Amino acid sequence: MSEFRKLDDIADVKGKVVLLRVDLNLPMRDGAVTDLTRAQAVAPTILELADDGAKVLLLAHFGRPKGERNPDMSLSLVQGAVQDVLGREVMFVSEVYGDVVRDAIAKLPDGGIALLENTRFWKGEEANDPQFAKAMAENADLYVNDAFSAAHRAHASTEGLAHLLPAYAGRAMQKELEALEKALGNPEKPVAAVVGGAKVSTKLAVLEHLVSRVDHLIIGGGMANTFLAARGVDVGKSLCEHELTGTVEKIMDAADEAGCTVHLPYDVVVAKEFAENPASLRICNVHEVADDEMILDIGPQAVEALGDVLKTCRTLVWNGPLGAFETAPFDEATVTLAKTAAALTKEGSLISVAGGGDTVSALNHAGAAGNFSYISTAGGAFLEWMEGKDLPGVVALKK
């Protein structure tokens, strides 16, 4: 994975036109951008290229317009937010290829920045149509991809362009790929993976891939109930995919063969109703869950033991919460283990990489995100990477 082309491999960008693929799919409410994280992530690459004298054309998608122009999904809506983050003027261009783009480039000074229209307004984008990619490439000298979050999609702006122009990874993409290489590509052993979330069915490919790559697999969330059920534990009325217990047994057998230890909770937090601090809340052994109770978090003894496991590891990959963390007190296991991981990372004994939407929220909630080695904000791309899949947008940047 480390053999990809990056900005340092470009001799000189002064006066060159760079098509820079970024993620500007910013969340909005009532016409205003509510979170600038994605724009902030790509700002260093945009500014570096502009400061080196390139004419920077930003390519991005916004929402799902399905190949039709839709004024509610025009990237002109985020132009102001992007200008605020960059502290620079950004020209908006209503097309992605052709004369309108050519005229804009002619007006743009060296070091100027332009935001092109939503690539998904054209059917050729998601179809990865070679003619559409060629039309975009005709106005540019170089292509830079800084949108890891879209790298699992083989679209014209994420993959097609990389075959038509000299192609490089931007700084955010580079950081992401280097972090992922350290976590699963060529990690320092022993390696632990925390995999949580509601359903085993959404993470089957991840679990099947990880058992052969990690030394410790820590299972949390509703998924743990399905694993417990496969072990013959009665999980009461807990969220559980009983039809997958056979699949789970196969995963456990594969883990045994690979020498990977699967960690399941032996004490759990249960309640009769899912609500904040319910009266029926109690902590019990997994074998003592009543028929009318549901498991909503991992218990304190299990969390302490998991903390001890992390102390023996050098690398941690984390995806998904351990319990129903949005509702107190079912956030305790996630918060406690996240704080342990953050402390071990801070003292230099652990490399910790986390990703996925719920995961980022959970680690922020725990106040632990700042001390993790790397947090990926990419949802689908991070999961596909954890499944061991080749990401088309990354493969296209290889040397």
- What integer pLDDT is reported at residue 2 of this predicted model? 52
Q: How far apart are CA 97 and CA 17, in angstroms?
A: 13
- What integer pLDDT is reported at residue 1 of this predicted model? 47
- Do the domains 7-173 and 187-386 sit in the same CATH topology, yes or no? yes
Q: Which residues are annotated as a binding site for (2R)-3-phosphoglycerate?
A: 38, 120, 153
Q: How far apart are CA 101 and CA 84, in angstroms?
A: 23
Q: How far apart are CA 126 and CA 288, in angstroms?
A: 51
Q: Which residues of the chain have pLDDT under 70?
A: 1-2
Q: Which residues are catalytic?
A: 38, 199, 357, 380
Q: Which residues are annotated as a binding site for substrate?
A: 23-25, 38, 61-64, 120, 153
What's the half-sphere exposure (Cβ side, CA atoms, 13 Å) at 245? 13
Q: Which residues are annotated as a binding site?
A: 23-25, 38, 61-64, 120, 153, 203, 326, 356-359
Q: β-strands 17-21, 191-195: how paired?
A: unpaired
Homologous superfamily in CATH for domain 7-173: Phosphoglycerate kinase, N-terminal domain (3.40.50.1260)
Per-residue pLDDT of 313-332, as tens digits, reads 999 999 999 999 999 999 99
Instruction: Kindly list the domain boundaries of the chain, sorted by start residue.
Output: 7-173, 187-386
**CATH class of segment(s) 187-386:** alpha beta
Q: How far apart are CA 223 and CA 324, in angstroms?
A: 11
